[in-house]
C-alpha cells in the first residue's frame, strides 16, 4: 500500500485499478487485484451500513415531534438526522445499483458528513445518553475503511469532539440541555463515564483496524494459495502431457518383437508401453482375427519373480469369462524365452487416462462404472480370484462397435481364494493409494479387499481427487489403515447424501464393517445416486461414519468407533 495506506489521489475505483498497474505507482498486479477486492468489499459494507443508518435516522425523525428537549437544539438535531438520512439513502441506492460507483471520494464525503451531523444529535439527547454507544457502530464501519488515513482521522475526530463536549459539560463550561442530563451526578462519576466511553470508542477503532488487517492478510494468503494451486495445476498438466507423450512415443511403431510369432499370432506394431511390459497388436496367422499380445520388457524378463507373476496372471485370467474382464486366449513363451500373454484386442482408453483429461465422471457414468466393475469383480470372486490391484490404470473403457464397456485388466498380483499363500509370500502387494487396509498391513485378504479398492476407484472418479493423496508411500499406507478421506459430497458438489453413506461402507477399515460384495456395492451405489438407498444400508452407513468419521484419523491401535483428536 502507499505511504498513506489509502487511495489518496483516486477519484473512482476504475481509475484506481487502472493506475495500480503503472510503474509510477510501484504496485504489482497482485496489489491491484488486492485493491479491487478490498474496494468491492468496502462498497458491500457501505451498502449494508447506509441502509441501516437510513432506517434508524428515519425512525428517530418520525419520533422527534413527540419528544421533549430544548427547542433550538432539537431543531438542529432534526437537521442532522435529515442530512444523515438523505446521505445514507443516496449511498445505499448507489451501491445497490453498482458497487463500482462507490468511490473513495464518496466514502470520504459520507464519512465526514455523518461524523459532523451526529454532533447535534449527541447534544440533543445528551453527552451521557445512550447515543455514544451507538457511535461504536459508525466508528467500527469507518475505521475499517480501505482509505487508511481517513480510517484513523474520522474516528479520531468523532472521539475528540465527544471528549471535548463531555469535559465542557462536566465542568459547566457548556450547559447540559440533553434529554438525558447529568445533573446531580458526582463529577468523578461523570469523568469516569466519559473516560470509559472514550476508551470503548478507541478500542473499537483498534479492533476495526485489526479486522481490516486480518481481512487483507486472508485475501493475500488466498491469492497466494490460488496462484500456487494454479502453478501446481499447470505443472501437473505438463506432467500429464509429458506422460501421455512418453506413452505415445513407441505406440504405432515397430517394437523388438514386431514380425515374430507368439503362438498362433503374428505381432505387429506396439499398442502401449507400461512399467514392465509392452503390448503389441497381433493377427491370427490363419483367420486374421485381431488380438493383443503382452510381453515383459527385456530387463523385466531377467527377473524370475516378474516372469512368474506374469505367467500367473495369464493362468488366472484365462479361467475368467466375463464381458467385464479382459479375455485371455493363450499363455506361452517366445523363441527367446520371453513370456507372452495373448488377449482380446481392446480399443478405447483406461480410466486413468480419462480422469487425467476430464478430472471426474458424471453421476450417470459413475453408475455404469460401478455396475460393470461390480459385475467383473463378482465373476472373478465367484471363480475364487481376488484381484488385489484394482486401480484406474487397470480399468479399461473398451469400445465394441456401438457398445462401450468397462473391463478389468491385469490380474498379475491376484490371489486365489483357495490358496494359502501368494507369489509374494504374505508381503505387502498392490498400488499405494488403492490397496485395502488389510493389504497395507500385509495380512491375508479376501474379496472384501477388492470392495475397498473399488470404493477408492469410485471416490477418485466422482470427486476428481484421490482418496489417499499422501506425499509418500509410508504416509499413504498409514492413511489407508487409520484415516478416512473427506466426505465425498463436500469435495464434489451435487452428490446425494446417500452416496456418502455407501462410500462409508465401502471404505470401512475393518472388513467386517464393509459392504459385503462388489455386486452389493454396485447396487447400493446406483440406488444412492438416485436417492433410493435401502433403509438398512442407511443405518449401516451412519454407523460406519460414527466408527470412521470423515476426514478424521484413528490413532494406531484404537478400536473402530474410538475417535482420535488427530485430523
All cell numbers assigned to 319:
479361467
User: Bridge-partner residues for 403, per DSSP?
Assistant: 400
The grid coordinates of residue 153 equal 482521522
DSSP labels, 395-449: EEEEEETTEEEEEE---TT-EETT-S--TTTT---S-TTTS-HHHHTT----HHH
End-to-end, the C-alpha distance of the chain in Å comes to: 38
E strand spans, 142-225: none
3-class secondary-structure state, position 499 = helix
Instruction: Reduce the DSSP state of residue 194 to 3 states and report it.
Output: helix
The rounded Cα 220 to chain-centroid distance in angstroms is 18
Dist. CA 502–CA 507, nearest whole Å: 9
Q: 294 pairs with which residues across the strands?
A: 279, 341
DSSP 8-class letter at 146:
S
Q: Which residues have a Cβ under 8 Å from the Cβ of 493 and sit 6 or more positions away?
A: none
389 belongs to the catalytic site = yes
Q: Which residue has the cell 494459495?
A: 225
Q: How many CB atoms lie within 10 A of CB 27?
A: 19
Cα angle 407-410-415, degrees, rounded to a multiple of 5: 110
Q: Return the half-sphere exposure (C-beta side, CA atoms, 13 A cut-off) of residue 126.
A: 16
Which residue carries 439513502 as its cell?
89
Residue 486 CA to residue 516 CA, distance in Å, equals 23
Show the beta-strand stretches assigned E in 351-490. 385-386, 395-400, 403-408, 415-416
For residue 5, give the 3-state DSSP assignment: coil
Catalytic residue among 147, 350, 389, 500: 389
Cβ atoms of 78 and 62 within 8 Å: the answer is no
Give me the residues paired with residue 415 across strands. 386
Contact 331, 314 (CB under 8 A): yes
CB 280 within 8 A of CB 270: yes
> What size, in residues, is the chain?
567
Q: Residue 427 and residue 454: Cα distance in Å, rounded? A: 21
Cα three-residue angle 181-184-186, rounded to 5 degrees: 110
Helix, strand, coil share (%) of the chain residues, nearest 5: 55, 10, 35
Q: To which H or E segment does residue 38 belong?
A: helix 29-63
Question: Nearest Cα to 423, choosing from 307, 299, 300, 338?
Answer: 307
- Check: CB of residue 521 under 8 Å from CB of residue 515: yes
- Which positions are annotated as active-site residues? 389
Amino acid at each position: 500500500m502507499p505511504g498513506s495506506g489509502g487511495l489518496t489521489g483516486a477519484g473512482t475505483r476504475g481509475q484506481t485499478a487502472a493506475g495500480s498497474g503503472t510503474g509510477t505507482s510501484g504496485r504489482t498486479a497482485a496489489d491491484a487485484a488486492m485493491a479491487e477486492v478490498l474496494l468491492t468489499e468496502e462498497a458491500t459494507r457501505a451498502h449494508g451500513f447506509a441502509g441501516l443508518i437510513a432506517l434508524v435516522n428515519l425512525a428517530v425523525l418520525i419520533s422527534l415531534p413527540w419528544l421533549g428537549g430544548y427547542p433550538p437544539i432539537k431543531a438542529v438535531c432534526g437537521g442532522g438526522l435529515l442530512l444523515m438520512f438523505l446521505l445514507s439513502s443516496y449511498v445505499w441506492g448507489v451501491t445497490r445499483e453498482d458497487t463500482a460507483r462507490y468511490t473513495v471520494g464518496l466514502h470520504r464525503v459520507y464519512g465526514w458528513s455523518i461524523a459532523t451531523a451526529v454532533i447535534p444529535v449527541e447534544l440533543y439527547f445528551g453527552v451521557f445518553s445512550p447515543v455514544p454507544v451507538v457511535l461504536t457502530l459508525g466508528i467500527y464501519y469507518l475505521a475499517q475503511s480501505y482509505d487508511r488515513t481517513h480510517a484513523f482521522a474520522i474516528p479520531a475526530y468523532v472521539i475528540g469532539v465527544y471528549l471535548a463536549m463531555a469535559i465542557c459539560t462536566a465542568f459547566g463550561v457548556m450547559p447540559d440541555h440533553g434529554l438525558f442530563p447529568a445533573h446531580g451526578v458526582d463529577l468523578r462519576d461523570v469523568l469516569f463515564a466519559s473516560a470509559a466511553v472514550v476508551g470503548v470508542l478507541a478500542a473499537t477503532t483498534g479492533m476495526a483496524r485489526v479486522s481490516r488487517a486480518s481481512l487483507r492478510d486472508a485475501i493475500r494468503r488466498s491469492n497466494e494459495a490460488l496462484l500456487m494451486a494454479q502453478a501446481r495445476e499447470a505443472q501437473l498438466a505438463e506432467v500429464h502431457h509429458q506422460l501421455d507423450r512418453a506413452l505415445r512415443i513407441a505406440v504405432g511403431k515397430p517394437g523388438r518383437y514386431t514380425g515374430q510369432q507368439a503362438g498362433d499370432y503374428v505381432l505387429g506394431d506396439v499398442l502401449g508401453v507400461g512399467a514392465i511390459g509392452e503390448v503389441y497388436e497381433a493377427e491370427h496367422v490363419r483367420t486374421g482375427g485381431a488380438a493383443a499380445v503382452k510381453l515383459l520388457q527385456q530387463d523385466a524378463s531377467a527377473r524370475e519373480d516378474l516372469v512368474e507373476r506374469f505367467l500367473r496372471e495369464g493362468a488366472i485370467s484365462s479361467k475368467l469369462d466375463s464381458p467385464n474382464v479382459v479375455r485371455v486366449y493363450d499363455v506361452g513363451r517366445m523363441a527367446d524365452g520371453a513370456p507372452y500373454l495373448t488377449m482380446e484386442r481392446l480399443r478405447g482408453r483406461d480410466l486413468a487416462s480419462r480422469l487425467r483429461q476430464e478430472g471426474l465422471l458424471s453421476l450417470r457414468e459413475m453408475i455404469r462404472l460401478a455396475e460393470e466393475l461390480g459385475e467383473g469383480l463378482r465373476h472373478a470372486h465367484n471363480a475364487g480370484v481376488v484381484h488385489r490391484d484394482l486401480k484406474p490404470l487397470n480399468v479399461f473403457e473398451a469400445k465394441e462397435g456401438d457398445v462401450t464397456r468397462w473391463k478389468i485388466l491385469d490380474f498379475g498380483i491376484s490371489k486365489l481364494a483357495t490358496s494359502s499363500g501368494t507369489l509374494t509370500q504374505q508381503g505387502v502387494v498392490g498400488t499405494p493409494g488403492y490397496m485395502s487396509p488389510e493389504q497395507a498391513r500385509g495380512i491375508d485378504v479376501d474379496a472384501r479387499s477388492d470392495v475397498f479398492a473399488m470404493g477408492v476407484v469410485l471416490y477418485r472418479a466422482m470427486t476428481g481427487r484421490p482418496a489417499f493423496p499422501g506425499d509418500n508411500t509410508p504416509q499413504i499406507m498409514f492413511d489407508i489403515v487409520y484415516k478416512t478421506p473427506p466426505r465425498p459430497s463436500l469435495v464434489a458438489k451435487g452428490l446425494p447424501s446417500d452416496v456418502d453413506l455407501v462410500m462409508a461402507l465401502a471404505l470401512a477399515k475393518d472388513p467386517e464393517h464393509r459392504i459385503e460384495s462388489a455386486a452389493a456395492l454396485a447396487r447400493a451405489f446406483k440406488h444412492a445416486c438416485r436417492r433410493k438407498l435401502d433403509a438398512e444400508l442407511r443405518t449401516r452407513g451412519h454407523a460406519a461414519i460414527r466408527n470412521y468419521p470423515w476426514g478424521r484419523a484413528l490413532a494406531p491401535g484404537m478400536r473402530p468407533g474410538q475417535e482420535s483428536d488427530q485430523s
